[in-house]
Amino acid sequence: MSTEERREVKKKLRREVLARRAALTEPERERGNLLITERILGHQWYYLSDTILGFVSYGSEICTTEILENALQDGKRVYVPKVEGQEMRFYRIQSLAELKEGYKGIPEPEGNTESYEYAPEEAANCLLLMPGSVFDPLGNRMGYGGGFYDRYLADREALRLRSIAVGFRCQQVESVPVEETDVKPYQVILV
């Protein structure tokens, strides 16, 4: 399969799965949001981490608001992504109220606070949460086509070992087409 054919397959798969996710009922969505919050806040990596690299949910994504608010209340350092050109950087927030509409309408920090600086020896104190559009049982993940997390994690192996991708169970398919540049999250939790 050529690169172009693989891209088309991924686009079609992403469209189908995102349509399924968008079709979830409000009770299904609320149940998933509650379950993912419980699973992450009860996860040993959450307890062992003083730094949370989260993401701000957007559109029909599983909701991370409660997770981020709990992390702030628990005194953890919370960073969320901001897209700058082709790169993504994580900036520290003190409150979700600081976020402004950014890349593709996604709420982002302004980028004028402390940014997360990767240090392999400190990665064990971090938890990185990742969004995704499509997942498979082998832990492969597709994002939204920008490759931001793949590039971000490409040379940050110690952080990848503390990464969890989250989503709804309806986002799982039999197999995700994988490319050389794809970086698998260490865990995937679908509810």
Q: Within 13 A of 152's CA, how many CA atoms are on the CB side?
A: 27
For the annotated binding site for ATP, the residues are 10-14, 141-149
What mean pLDDT comes out for the span 90-101?
A: 97
* Sequence-distant (≥ 6) Cβ neighbours of residue 115 within 8 angstroms: 79, 89, 90, 91, 92
* Sequence-distant (≥ 6) Cβ neighbours of residue 168 within 8 angstroms: 21, 24, 28, 29, 32, 62, 190, 191
For the annotated binding site, the residues are 10-14, 56, 61, 141-149
Percent of the chain with pLDDT over 90: 95
Percent of the chain with pLDDT over 70: 100
Which domain, by its residues, includes 54? 3-190
**What CATH code is carried by the domain that includes residue 179?**
3.40.50.10420
Residue 179: band (very low, low, confident or very high) from pLDDT cuts 50, 70, 90: confident
The total number of structural domains in the chain stands at 1
Q: Is the pLDDT of residue 24 over 90?
A: yes
Q: What is the model's pLDDT at position 121? A: 96
Count of C-beta atoms within a 10 Å radius of residue 183: 18
Q: What is the model's pLDDT at position 191? A: 97
For the annotated binding site for substrate, the residues are 56, 61
β-bridge pairing 141-142 and 134-135: antiparallel
Q: Is the pLDDT of residue 44 over 90?
A: yes
Distance CA 166, CA 23 (A): 18
Distance CA 80, CA 101 (A): 13
Question: pLDDT: is 157 or 2 the higher one?
Answer: 157
What tens digit of pLDDT does each residue of 119-153 get? 999 999 999 999 999 999 999 999 999 999 999 99
